[in-house]
Amino acid sequence: MAQVLIALAVIAIAATIAFALRRRRQVEPPTQPTFETPAQLDRSDFERPDAPWLVAVFTSASCDACALVAAKAEALASRDVAVQLLPYQSERALHERYRIDAVPALVLADADGVVRYAALGPITATDLWSEVAKARDAAS
């Protein structure tokens, strides 16, 4: 009978330890989406916050495609469209603030900072101009 009580005590202690260890185990956080563009920008973070439109181009000096996207975006610059190039090397804080984890990332935002169009990776000039025209027409 004493052996049965000792066995039950050992099992109870083992179960208690297992339960405590299981509760202390840290749960892994759920996976977070990556390679997404922001849905909203704070226009005061960028040049010409008073311009009706902002084209923000997040780039990196080590990215060949970034230079091509930047050149296409710069062609959009006008009185109504502010274009700002944001190289990671000099604008790291903005890359981190908006969680830019892939370049080139192009974002078109309206006067309120609402992103009306965004693209990751290379984009043709035709597609870029078309998307800007669609966004401007939709906002009118």
Q: Phi and psi for 103 in degrees, rounded to 5? A: -130, 155
pLDDT (tens digit, 9 = 90+) per residue, 85-140?
Answer: 999 999 999 999 999 999 999 999 999 999 999 999 999 999 999 998 898 888 77
pLDDT (tens digit, 9 = 90+) per residue, 107-118?
Answer: 999 999 999 999
33: pLDDT confidence band, cut at 50, 70 and 90? low
Total H helices, total E strands in the chain = 4, 4
Q: What is the pLDDT of residue 64?
A: 93
Q: What CATH number did the domain enclosing 72 receive?
A: 3.40.30.10
Q: How far apart are CA 125 and CA 71, in angstroms?
A: 9
For residue 26, pLDDT over 80 is answered with: no
Confirm whether 12 is domain-assigned: no
The residues near 17 (Cβ < 8 Å, ≥ 6 apart) are: none
Q: How far apart are CA 117 and CA 130, in angstroms?
A: 11
User: Residue 82 belongs to what domain range?
Assistant: 43-139
**Tokens 């052996």, residue located:** 3
Confirm whether 9 is domain-assigned: no
Confirm whether 21 is domain-assigned: no
Single-letter amino acid code for the residue at 57: V
Single-letter amino acid code for the residue at 66: C
Q: What is the pLDDT of residue 12?
A: 84
